[in-house]
């Protein structure tokens, strides 16, 4: 048996079809935020998976000057470090038409965004170990980040070469819409195993999906 969270899965025949649908959803959610408060709030994740989507969004005609973008998590490295997520977002998303959007650090967003909702849409990825954002299974701070009420946590997973900061589970789930964006057969298999009712351990991605309930949609393409 598979847990109910997989009922929120949207499968696409191609990655381009996924990017088209997800781009439309992002703009729809941001438009709602602009109408509600004058500013749309978008949380994105690092890694290589969202880069083609970022390129498509950067070319999209939209009211980007009224959008604020923040990362779900960040590696604690210098801004010019090749593993810096903020630099990647600046280079891959905040270009062309999307260059008009504002970029905020996690601490800046935590201090200036209220929680009703915290973001209009949050895009998350997943690692092969079942982590999402920087909620790593081996991080000693994981329990606090999953159960605590502060917005941002510092994580020190032994499996990673650097410490990280991440929004906690409560803050991520305060988004109007959560999207888990995964591509490829291997990621799909990891997700299935994490969500299976016979799983012996509860991975962070499962905890997030179950906590978010109907506010999360899984976008997957082979």
Rounded to two decimals, the pTM is: 0.96
Q: What is the pLDDT of residue 6?
A: 77
Would you list the DSSP string of 74-97? EESS-TTSTT-HHHHHHHHTSSGG
What is the tens place of the pLDDT at every residue in 144-187?
A: 999 999 999 999 999 999 999 999 999 999 999 999 999 999 99
What is the tens place of the pLDDT at every residue in 89-125?
A: 999 999 999 999 999 999 999 999 998 899 999 999 9
Residues sharing a CB contact under 8 Å with residue 195, sequence separation 6 or more, in sequence order: 2, 3, 5, 6, 206, 209
The number of beta carbons lying within 10 Å of the beta carbon of residue 102 is 14
Confidence of residue 5 (pLDDT cuts 50, 70, 90): low
For the chain, domains (ranges, CATH) are 23-221 (3.40.50.1360)
Confidence of residue 22 (pLDDT cuts 50, 70, 90): very high
């Amino acid at each position: 048996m598979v847990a109910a969270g997989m009922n929120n899965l949207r499968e696409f025949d191609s990655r381009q079809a996924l990017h088209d649908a997800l781009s439309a959803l992002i703009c729809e959610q941001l438009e709602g935020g602009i109408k509600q408060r004058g500013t749309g709030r978008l949380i994105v994740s690092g890694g290589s998976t969202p880069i083609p989507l970022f390129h498509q969004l950067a070319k999209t005609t939209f009211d980007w000057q009224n959008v604020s973008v923040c990362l779900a998590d960040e590696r604690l490295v210098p801004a010019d470090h090749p593993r810096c997520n903020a630099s990647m977002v600046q280079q891959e998303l905040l270009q062309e038409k999307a260059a008009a959007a504002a970029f905020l650090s996690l601490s800046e967003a935590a201090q200036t965004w209220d929680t009703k909702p915290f973001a209009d849409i949050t895009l998350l990825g997943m690692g092969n170990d079942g982590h999402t954002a920087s909620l790593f299974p081996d991080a000693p701070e994981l329990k606090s980040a999953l159960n605590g009420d502060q917005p941002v946590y510092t994580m020190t997973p032994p499996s990673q070469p650097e410490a990280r900061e991440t929004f906690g589970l409560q803050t991520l789930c305060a988004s109007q819409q959560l999207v888990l964006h995964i591509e490829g057969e291997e990621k799909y298999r990891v997700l299935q195993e994490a969500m299976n009712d016979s799983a012996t351990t509860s991975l962070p991605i499962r905890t997030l999906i179950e906590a978010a309930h109907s506010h999360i949609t899984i976008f997957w393409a082979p």
